Structure 1
Amino acid sequence: MPERNVMTLTTERPLPDASKEMALSATVLGAVVLITAIAPLATDMYVPAFPRVGRDLDASATQVQLTLTTFFIGMALGQLIGGPVSDRVGRRRPLLASLTVLAAASVVCAFSPTIGVMMAARLLQGFAGGWAMVIARSIVVDLTSGDRMVRAMNLVAGVSGIAPIVGPLLGAAILEFSHWRVSFWVVAALAVVMVVVVTVGVSETLPAERRHGGALAQLAGSTALVLRRRVFVGYLLVFAFSMGAIFAYVATSAFVLQSMNGLSPVLYSVDFAGNAVGLTIATLLAAKLAGKVSTRMVVGIGLVATGAAGVILLVGAVCFAMPLPVALIGFFVLMSAQGLVGPNAGALASGEVPEHPGTGSALLGFLQWTMAGVIAPLAGLGGAHTAVPMATIVAALTAISVFALIVLARPRSTQQASVTATKKRELAPCTE
């Protein structure tokens, strides 16, 4: 059994077994990138069509919005369950099954005759997509460690970050030249492509001797074990709250920039894409820094930038009714900073539980998409005429993330050194 010492990810951790010696090939990495792009594509292509969906399915705006909420719920549940199951039975078969279900659910979405059928199909689509995404992240953990894992996670996040740029543009093009249902056919086609790629190019990455057998109760037990790791929980919170900050922006930016500042939909789309570019560049930069700069320090820098953006947005919202320059600068800094925070915090969290990679990835994905589902409606509580709730949420999430990084995610070596020093002081009178 390998020792379970906690190590910083600025040095290579010893590889625990032969499976780690398999290369993370371009084919496998490409499959992981495609799978992790599911959520932004399935969301961003569809959102521009909300008004037409409501008209075609005779549904209210709230009902159409619920199709997005059910998708997020499915994503969260799929990742929570899929990770531990893949730790027990392996990666390849569950991944192929989930991608097949994803394709089928997307076809049902395309044919949905009512908003109720659409909600149910979106729930299943999210569940299958979440299941596939958590296994994809687990494959990276299976095949890499230390700096290589940080680099791979950032590269995956950076390349996948193109999806939020392409998604709205592709969705707008579909609406211009075809029907909104075509967006679901695109997702179904991508799922079929993923099935072929995994079948041909991805072998099993979790050997039988590393699997955790047992019933569902034992899977719950592994979740409890993982959650008892203080450092893991700290990075888990930082990772999830980064997603919360992103969706606070996603849920309100259209109102802030269009309703409050008069930007046209085209200019708003350009700004949205520009912010996504900032996030992608920051993520790829973080991948380059892996092994050169402490990953924990990169996360800290990202949180400082996020805090600065939160202050800018909060002051602009409370004191000046969010003028356009403040919103543009604040949103760009906020989104770019998340490229330094989210992927790195996720990699650090995964590195804390190498013996339960699927369970760790499941908890990361579950809390991530739960935050997305919770924060989006909360950020929009102010309606179309104030950005105060959004800015307050960003500032609050940043403050909690800083606490989690400094206190909960404090390296165990630092804590042990402090305990040793305390014991020496206590024993000093006895040695005089």
Structure 2
Amino acid sequence: MTQQHAPAPERAGSPSPRPTSTPDAARQQVGAAVVATVVFLTAIAPLATDMYVPAFPRVARDLGAGATQVQLTLTTFFVGMALGQLVGGPVSDARGRRRPLVAAVVAMSVASVVCALTPGIGVMMAARLVQGFAGGWAMVIGRAVIIDLARGAQLVRVLNVIAAVGGVAPVLGPLLGAAILQLSDWRVSFWVVAALGVAMAVAVLVAVPETLPPGRRHGGGLRTFVSAGREVLRNRRYVGYLVVAGSAMGALFAYVATSAFVLQSMNGLSPVAYSVDFAANAGGMTLAALVAARLAGRVATRPVILVGQVAALLAGVGMLVGALWFGTPLPLVLVCFFVLMAAQGLIGPNGGALAAAEVPEHPGTGSALLGFVQWVAAGTIAPLAGLGGEGTAVPMAVIMVLGAAASMIGLLVLARPARVTAAPAPAP
């Protein structure tokens, strides 16, 4: 398949060239304030989800809804996240970054207020859809801002730092949500998200410049988006890195969706002990992402991804063997979960960075497709991992194995480097 763009740099020390149309104004360094704001934007999805999950029983009671209906408010959020990332990137490619980003954050805050005031489960589902859509829109534009400003080693390093710091949010979310439930009502968690949205809007206005000047923008409209999407998807290596990151996300959410059942229902851990283990695993992912950031520019990126994939595959195989023949013993589960989560810190950010480097002419569209694939994987895998009920970890382990294997295929087959053919010797 014909490559549309120059291949991504395999060693981050040799940055990929910018498009020749890039004006000097866009050649800014990625400042700490910009990185902090993008981390803030990235954290909203886990916070808006994990703060709310501990309140499911109370939500069902207060709104007169069944457990399945309450679970659907999580599904609608994931659907919104996927659609928001798919649409937000191309819109920002056409209209610039700053204004669409502020609009998305404001819309997310308004949707959070509706969730806090909801009279019934139907309104909650609709508001969560909008909340997820606006959150996904904001996340993809934040990522596009970083791609506008960074290339090569800096891009890999910054995306890993964002992933590492953002990895704290899944730890703090459930703890903050539990604290809110102890002191107040579940609706307060949505007021907190709304307040965070206002703070994000202020942070964007203060810290984030317009990183896509008019000369680099693409005309809007569905036809242009489809055309840009086709161009991006013609890049075999981009598609490969899309598979790398999307498959890893699926394996991650198999763990998120079922780890509570495996550790608490099957192995008798208390909720407090489970929270400690969940935090330790998230810490492992954060540490791995920080290590990957330190390696950028020193070690080729593809081997770092491969190490993570091999580790994730071994963790999945270990879980499957334990689930099929040894009754899913607790020591094995703890080790496999930690290895899986640490592996994600090596795979996800690096895969996303190499995907972005493949499509520099369409950073918003490339980022949108990446986010869409990842959140579709999350929303699809989460219920599949629990098909066996609370008494078996086999479906989750199978998904872990398949996700790691698919990610390796994406790296080694679809995203394989192009062969360099030697020029023919001149005729004597």
Shift in Å at residue 386 of structure 1?
0.2
Instruction: Output one character per residue of 1:242-298: Cα deviation in whole Å (capped at 9) or x when no partner.
Output: 110110001110000010011111111111111000000101111111000111111
- Partner Cα distance (2:65, 2:136) in 1: 26
Deviations 1:334-366 (A, max 9, x none): 001100000100010001001100000000100
Which residue in the other structure is 2:155 paired with? 149
Is the CA contact 2:315–2:339 (under 8 Å) kept in the aligned structure 1?
Answer: yes
Partners of 1:64 and 1:115 within 8 A in 2: yes
Query: Identity of aligned pairs, percent?
Result: 63
Equivalent pair of 1:9/1:150 in contact (CA under 8 Å): no
| Deviation (angstroms), 1:210 | 0.6
Distance change (3 Å), C-alpha of 1:9 and 1:93: farther
Q: What CA distance in whole angstroms lies between the structure 2 residues aligned with 1:201 and 1:309?
A: 41
5 Å matches for 1:304-383? 304-383=310-389
What's the counterpart of residue 96 of structure 1?
102
Change (3 A) 1:4 1:396: closer
Amino acid at match of 1:54: A
Question: In the TM superposition, what whole-angstrom CA distance separates every residue of 1:128-152 from its partner, at most 9, and x where no partner exists?
Answer: 0000000000000000000100001
Report the counterpart of residue 266 of structure 2 in structure 1. Answer: 260
CA distance in 2, matches of 1:175, 1:342: 33
Q: Separation in 2 of the partners of 1:79 and 1:208?
A: 22
Match of 1:198 in 2: 204
Amino acid at match of 1:202: V
Q: Alpha carbons of 1:77 and 1:407: their partners in 2 closer, same or farther (altered >3 Å)? A: same
2:189 matched to 1:188?
no
Deviations along 1:44-88, one digit per CA (max 9) or x if unpaired, are 111111111111111111110000000000000000001011001
Aligned to 2:217: 211
Match of 2:392 in 1: 386
Secondary structure, aligned partner of 1:381: coil
Corresponding residue for residue 6 of structure 1: 7
Paired residue for 1:140?
Answer: 146
RMSD: 1.6
Q: Which amino acid aligns with 1:264?
A: S
Question: What's the offset of the Cα at 1:4?
Answer: 3.6
Give the superposition deviation at 1:102. Answer: 0.4
Task: Give the unaligned 5+ runs of structure 2.
Answer: none
**Higher mean C-alpha deviation, range 126-135 or range 216-225:** 216-225
Q: Determine the C-alpha separation between the residues in 1 that align with 2:220 and 2:269.
A: 56
Distance 2:252 2:141 in 1: 23
AA at the equivalent of 1:46: Y
Aligned counterparts of 2:67 and 2:154: Cα–Cα separation in 1: 45
Aligned letter for 1:25? G
Does 1:220 pair with 2:223? no
Give the corresponding residue for 1:235: 241
Equivalent position of 1:80 in the other structure:
86
For residue 223 of structure 1, what is the amino acid of its counterpart? Answer: G
Instruction: Tell me the residue number matched to 1:396.
Output: 402
1:303 to 299, 305, 309: 309
Matched residue, 1:48? 54
Q: Quote the residue 1:282 is aligned against.
A: 288
Q: Who is 1:170 aligned against?
A: 176
Whether the 8 Å contact between 2:38 and 2:162 is mirrored in structure 1 is yes
Q: Which amino acid aligns with 1:258?
A: Q
Given residue 330 of structure 2, which amino acid in structure 1 is its aligned partner? L
Number of residue pairs matched by the alignment: 420
1:216, distance to aligned residue in structure 2 (A):
1.5
Query: Normalized against structure 1, the TM-score is what?
Result: 0.95
Structure 2 CA distance, aligned partners of 1:317 and 1:19?
Answer: 56
Report the residue type matching 1:127 in the other structure. Answer: F
Gaps of 5+ in 1: none
Cα distance in 1 for residues equivalent to 2:189 and 2:344: 27
Is the aligned partner of 1:29 residue 2:32? no
- 1:215 CA displacement: 2.4
Structure 1 letter corresponding to 2:232: V
Deviation of 1:12 after TM superposition, in Å, equals: 1.6
- Match for 2:337: what amino acid? F
Report if the CA contact (8 A) 1:15-1:21 is conserved: no
Once the 2 structures are TM-superposed, how far is the Cα of residue 20 of structure 1 from its aligned partner?
4.2
Output the CA distance in 2 between the equivalents of 1:214 and 1:251. Answer: 38
Residue type matched to 2:6 in 1?
N
Amino acid of the residue matched to residue 137 of structure 1? R
Q: 1:71 aligns with which of 73, 77, 83?
A: 77
- Greater helix content: 1
Correspondences of 1:106-145 after superposition (within 5 Å): 106-145=112-151
CA distance in 2, matches of 1:397, 1:61: 28
Q: Offset of 1:403 from its aligned partner? A: 1.1
The alpha-carbon deviation at position 24 of structure 1 amounts to: 1.1
In 2, Cα distance between equivalents of 1:347 and 1:7: 9
- For 2:214, the aligned partner's letter is A
